[in-house]
Amino acid sequence: MTIRFDATGAIARIQRICDTLEIADPAEEPPALSPDEPGHPDYHHRQRVEHARRVLARVTPLRYRSATSDRPEVVAWVEAAVASWRSRATSEPVPVPSLLLYGPTGTGKTFAGFGALRRVAEAGLPRFGAEFASWPELLAQLRPGSGEEREQGLRRLMDAPWLLLDDLGRAKDSAWTEEILYRLVNHRYNVMLPTIITTNVPLKQFTAVFGDAPGGRLIEMTAGGRVAVTGEDRRLVR
């Protein structure tokens, strides 16, 4: 028996099936999506920004909820860090620089740090996440914990996509604090995750105060973003 194909009839039948199922001709332009619809880049950008704002609100202490920073060095760092973060998804990722805000007490370092983080959040990055840790507070929390609790607390900060490490150096130093700092900094240094650091310690004293290994890494990580926050103690001049 010979089977004969009737090409014209077959195509007509396929066309009828496509019409019935409302399957569009792939050669035709898909209907334009509105910016409010899933699938439109603007829609997904807005979703990412809203997610980032929620993450930031969760980790930001009340005093710094409305912190902003339009310092040119902070703006430049955010632009560079955001561009490097986006490059992580490409075949040629570049290291994401960290930011160092240093200067005397009360000049606005923590405020500027949250301002920087807010700018990052507003960029609508993929895989945004953030943690905040005050260094003396962190040590006080880790010290009495069991080995496992300590490990979990530290790992959360080690792996945070963006970390604001506040008041570094404002704690009594010991071999144990240096080891904690080394583990935190070394991990973030290795996987090149961005850290915003505030401190009263001058850069020249980093290795002496933090230890050679953590101090040297901090210097290298922040080479692309160091801001001297100067002026009067804002708490006293009100």
The interface mask with ligand ATP, positions 197-216, x = CB under 6 A, is -x-x----------------
Residue 150 CA to residue 176 CA, distance in Å, equals 12
- 107 is a site residue for Mg ion (CB under 5 A): no
- With contacts defined by CB under 6 A, how many residues of the chain interact with ligand ATP? 13
Q: Using the rule CB under 5 A, is 60 a contact of Mg ion?
A: no
The residue among 111 and 128 lying less far from ligand ATP, judged by its C-beta, is: 111
Q: Does 110 bind Mg ion (CB under 5 A)?
A: yes
106/216 with CB nearer ligand ATP:
106
Decide: residue 16, CB within 10 A, 0-12 exposed, 13-18 middle, 19+ buried. Answer: exposed
- The answer to the question of residue 118 lying near ligand ATP (CB under 6 A) is no
Q: How far is the CB of 65 from Mg ion (least distance, A)?
A: 15
From ligand ATP, Mg ion, none, interface partner of 186 (C-beta below 5 to 8 A by class)? none
Sole window of 102-110, 120-128, 206-214, 221-229 interacting with Mg ion (rule: CB under 5 A)? 102-110
Distance of closest approach, residue 63 Cβ to ligand ATP, in angstroms: 6
Q: Which amino acid is at 97?
A: P
Binding partner at 107 among ligand ATP, Mg ion, none, C-beta below 5 to 8 Å by kind: ligand ATP
Nearer to ligand ATP, 195 or 198 (CB): 198
Within positions 59 to 88, which residues make up the interface with ligand ATP, using CB under 6 A? 63
Can residue 167 be called a binding residue for ligand ATP (CB under 6 A)? yes
**Residue 139 or 158: which CB sits closer to ligand ATP?**
139
Ordered DSSP codes for the chain: ------HHHHHHHHHHHHHHHTPPPTTSPPPPPPTTSTTSHHHHHHHHHHHHHHHHHHHS-GGGTT-----HHHHHHHHHHHHHHHHTTSSS--PPPPEEEE-STTSSHHHHHHHHHHHHHHT--TT--EEEEEHHHHHHHHTTS-HHHHHHHHHHHHS-SEEEEEEET-S---HHHHHHHHHHHHHHHHHT--EEEEESS-GGGHHHHH-HHHHHHHHHHTTT-EEE--SS-TTT--
Q: Cα–Cα distance between 39 and 145 in angstroms, integer? A: 46
* Binding piece for ligand ATP, criterion CB under 6 A, among 87-95, 100-108, 142-150, 172-180: 100-108
60, 77, 109, 196: which one binds ligand ATP (CB under 6 A) = 109
Q: Could you tell me if 211 and 178 are in contact, meaning their C-beta atoms sit under 8 angstroms apart?
A: yes
Binding site residues, Mg ion, CB under 5 A: 110
Binding site residues, ligand ATP, CB under 6 A: 63, 105-111, 167, 198, 200, 234-235
